[in-house]
Structure 1
Amino acid sequence: MLPTPTKFTLVAGAGEGQTPLNAFDRALLEARAGNVNLIRVSSILPPGAEYVEELTLPPGALVPVAYGATTSTTPGDRIAAAVAVGIPEEGFGVIMEYSGHTSRQEAERIIRQMVEEAFATRRLELKKYMVRAVEHQVVRTGAVFAGILLWY
């Protein structure tokens, strides 16, 4: 059985590279999520998980993360990624991820609606809302990444 994470943080970054993967790697590094192995998880924040401004992650660690990301090879494209978490008074939180060819403001608007719908579906009352988003205008090959890193 895997342990349940007890800490979380929200990160976001953008990057340019020679290839989409290199651009994504730079976005991860800018977001402070590089040099580890990300394990993509679905969107539930464990009950009692504590928010921390920054996590100290050992290189090569296996890190659970819910994230949105996109890349583009079209110069001038505007791309954005956002993550948000809604937290009720008690119990688990709900994480949502979004990315697309849009502005940061539009990504933040869309993700807020996503969290509100998730809470309504679960009949939970939203007590705390946190969001992190990033926007990038592509020069050659660009990427954006926004994630909620979970840790122990």
Structure 2
Amino acid sequence: MLPIPTKFCLVVGHGEGDQKLNAFDAALLDAGVGNMNLLRVSSVLPPKCVYEEVFKMPAGSLLPIAYGSLTSDVPGEIISAAIGVGIPEDPSSYGIIMEFSGFCKADEAALTVEKMVREAFAMRNLLLKEVKVKSVEHRVERCGSVIAACPLFYEVPCEGC
């Protein structure tokens, strides 16, 4: 069993590549998580998880992460991704993470994901203290990708980060 993460942040990135996987890799690098081993998780923010503005972990770390992404090879197409985190009124309760990606502008993606967070809290009868949202958009040149993510991490020594 892995320990429960104690910290989270919001990251976004976009990038181009010759192939879809390379475009996605470029977006991961732009978001600052490209050199991690990502463990995709679903939508629960652990209780007492604290928001950190800055994210740093050693390359190769196992990183629990919730994310939305989109890749396109249609030149001129606008793609976006957004991540939203609902912080509960009760700090001992869990929160909710929602992700969205689509063929729209970043502000539309941000509004959509915020609505998703609010609905998820209402469905669970949780009191919402705050919603944090981050979004990104990209106009595809040849093959583009976007990612919006919520890394969940721990207080770890980070020599050489």
The TM-score, its normalising length taken from structure 1, stands at 0.98
Match of 1:3 in 2: 3
CA shift at 1:56, angstroms? 1.4
Whole-Å separation in 2 of the counterparts to 1:87 and 1:8 = 11
**Deviation per CA, 1:60-91, whole angstroms, max 9, x where unpaired?**
11100000001000000000000000011111
Secondary structure (helix, strand or coil) at the match of 2:128 reads coil
Whole-Å separation in 1 of the counterparts to 2:70 and 2:144 = 8
Whole-Å separation in 2 of the counterparts to 1:129 and 1:110 = 12
Query: Which residue identity is paired with 1:126?
Result: L
Secondary structure (helix, strand or coil) at the match of 1:53 reads coil
Q: Aligned runs of 1:19-98 on 2, under 5 Å?
A: 19-90=19-90, 91-98=93-100
Match of 1:134 in 2: 136
Secondary structure (helix, strand or coil) at the match of 2:23 reads helix
Q: Give the superposed CA RMSD.
A: 0.7
CA shift at 1:124, angstroms? 1.1
**Deviation per CA, 1:28-77, whole angstroms, max 9, x where unpaired?**
11111110111100110001111111121111111000000010000000
Whole-Å separation in 2 of the counterparts to 1:67 and 1:55 = 15
CA shift at 1:4, angstroms? 0.2
Stretches of structure 1 that go unaligned for 5 or more consecutive residues are: none
Whole-Å separation in 2 of the counterparts to 1:151 and 1:41 = 12
**Deviation per CA, 1:107-141, whole angstroms, max 9, x where unpaired?**
01110110011010001121111011000000000
Across the two proteins, how many residue pairs are aligned to each other? 152
CA shift at 1:145, angstroms? 0.4
Whole-Å separation in 1 of the counterparts to 2:37 and 2:103 = 26
Query: Which residue identity is paired with 1:17?
Result: G
Whole-Å separation in 1 of the counterparts to 2:59 and 2:107 = 33
Secondary structure (helix, strand or coil) at the match of 1:23 reads helix
CA shift at 1:9, angstroms? 0.6
Whole-Å separation in 2 of the counterparts to 1:50 and 1:108 = 22
Secondary structure (helix, strand or coil) at the match of 1:95 reads strand
